[in-house]
């Protein structure tokens, strides 16, 4: 079996993330039609957050409750060495770390699908619950600003001392 070219692997990984985004949208849309938008958002957010918690439990198994250590661990395992989710990182003088995601393949998929801005902001908020699960319960304070119309980039993750 021949090895794949790293650029091809990166494209395939990006496509997989985009597919995940479109699955999120299709599930949300179906739930919204059946249960209404509020209940759909609540259910899908809860399920995505639960999956994020499992991912965070594995990722941070041996990481102590320090915002910078957690942020650096998260960045160290970013797909394709950070190329799929390029970031700007700022550390503050109180021991916090703030990660601005500049590009996100999930958001790109929703843009390519021509979702209206309000729907895109909603699904970004729902998808952001994955990060709530990943970072919640780690002994640090976590909050995130997800994309809204008129903002550049994607989500902005804030990890600070509890």
Tens of pLDDT along 62-72?
A: 999 999 999 99
pTM, to two decimals: 0.93
pLDDT at 46 (0 to 100): 98
Average pLDDT over residues 95-100: 98
Nearest C-alpha neighbor of 44 from the set 105, 112, 128, 113: 128
- Domain parsing of the chain, residue ranges: 6-161
pLDDT at 3 (0 to 100): 79
Q: How far apart are CA 41 and CA 19, in angstroms?
A: 19
Superfamily of domain 6-161: Trafficking protein particle complex subunit 3 (3.30.1380.20)
* Cα distances (angstroms) measured from residue 107 to each of 1, 59, 110, 136, 139: 34, 23, 5, 23, 29
Tens of pLDDT along 16-71?
A: 999 999 999 999 999 999 999 999 999 999 999 999 999 999 999 999 999 999 99
Tens of pLDDT along 76-88?
A: 999 999 999 999 9
pLDDT at 1 (0 to 100): 57
Instruction: Give the helix ranges, DSSP H, for the chain.
Output: 6-35, 37-59, 67-76, 105-112, 117-127, 129-135
Tens of pLDDT along 101-140?
A: 999 999 999 999 999 999 999 999 999 999 999 999 999 9
Report angle CA 59, 108, 87 to the nearest 5 degrees. 50
Average pLDDT over residues 89-105: 97
Confidence grade of residue 4 (pLDDT, cut at 50, 70, 90)? confident
Handedness of CA 83, 100, 127, 159 (dihedral sign): positive
Sheet of strand 140-145, all strands in order from the earlier edge strand to the far edge: 87-91, 97-101, 156-161, 140-145
Q: How far apart are CA 132 and CA 45, in angstroms?
A: 10
């Amino acid at each position: 079996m021949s090895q794949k070219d790293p650029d091809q692997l990166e494209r395939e990984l990006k496509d997989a993330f985009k597919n995940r985004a479109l699955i999120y949208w299709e599930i949300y849309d179906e739930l919204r039609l059946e249960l209404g938008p509020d209940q759909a958002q609540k259910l899908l957010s809860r399920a995505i957050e639960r999956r994020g918690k499992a991912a965070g439990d594995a990722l941070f198994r041996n990481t102590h409750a320090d915002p910078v250590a957690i942020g650096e661990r998260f960045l160290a395992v970013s797909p394709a060495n950070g190329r799929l989710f390029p970031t700007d990182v700022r550390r503050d003088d109180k021991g916090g770390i703030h990660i601005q995601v500049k590009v996100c393949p999930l958001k790109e998929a929703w843009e390519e699908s021509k979702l209206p801005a309000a729907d895109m902001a909603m699904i970004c908020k729902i998808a952001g619950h994955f990060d709530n699960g990943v970072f919640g319960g780690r002994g640090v304070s976590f909050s995130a600003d997800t994309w809204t119309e008129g903002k550049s980039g994607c989500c902005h993750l804030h990890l600070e001392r509890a």
